[in-house]
Amino acid sequence: MDYILGEDKPQGCIFCPEPREDFAARLILFSGRLTRIMMNKYPYINGHLLISPRRHTPGLDDLTPAEMLDLMAKLRSAMAILKRQMRPDGFNVGLNLGIVAGAGVEDHLHFHVVPRWNGDTNFIPVFADVRVIPEHFRQTYESLAPHFQAICDEEQTCVSLK
């Protein structure tokens, strides 16, 4: 909520490509022709990903058929990687459309992929407004990034994060 309501947000859209961007610094795991996958800088739990179209667009109705297909294919690939590498017991997958639905960035459609494990809930967020995450998100990024390099676009253009 501090990010959503805060005044000190970075300029521009966190999902839109920047010239000569530093993928690791921005926690970007994959950036293809139509879709981008990045880690959430303010995760609910380890492995919390954000999957968005590259084109700045606010809603599902605004997507082209190719963007919709690619977005779903990358969502499936990301979940497969998380299953293999992090072994969650399940997932919460969703998108918040509009500020009243909880969208922190309402102008750029994005899916949240949140891996879940049996017993991963606790009382600390309720009583202390603190999240307990067992691994620093930079360590999670380093362990996941090599696996996302294997994802290719439909033209078999694979993206190198180096």
pLDDT tens per residue, range 35-80: 999 998 877 788 999 999 999 998 899 999 999 999 999 999 999 9
Neighbour-count burial of 156, counting CB atoms closer than 10 A to its CB (0-12 exposed, 13-18 middle, 19+ buried): exposed
Superfamily of domain 25-148, CATH level 4: HIT-like (3.30.428.10)
Query: 104: which residues sit within 8 A by CB, 6+ positions away?
Result: 3, 4, 96
Looking only at the bridges linking them, the beta strands covering 90-95 and 49-53 are unpaired
Q: Kind and range of the H or E element at 116?
A: strand 111-116
Q: How far apart are CA 13 and CA 107, in angstroms?
A: 8
* Residue 110 a catalytic site member: yes
Taking alpha carbons only, the member of 46, 71, 58 closest to residue 142 is: 46
What pLDDT sits at residue 62? 92
Which of 110, 112, 136, 147 is the catalytic position? 110
* Cβ atoms of residues 39 and 29 within 8 Å: yes
Q: How far apart are CA 21 and CA 24, in angstroms?
A: 9
Biggest CA-to-CA distance, the chain: 50
* Cβ atoms of residues 16 and 56 within 8 Å: yes
Q: What is the mean pLDDT of each run of 10 residues along the chain (162 residues)?
A: 56 77 86 91 86 91 94 94 94 82 74 88 54 69 80 55 46
Query: Across the strands, what pairs with 115?
Result: 91
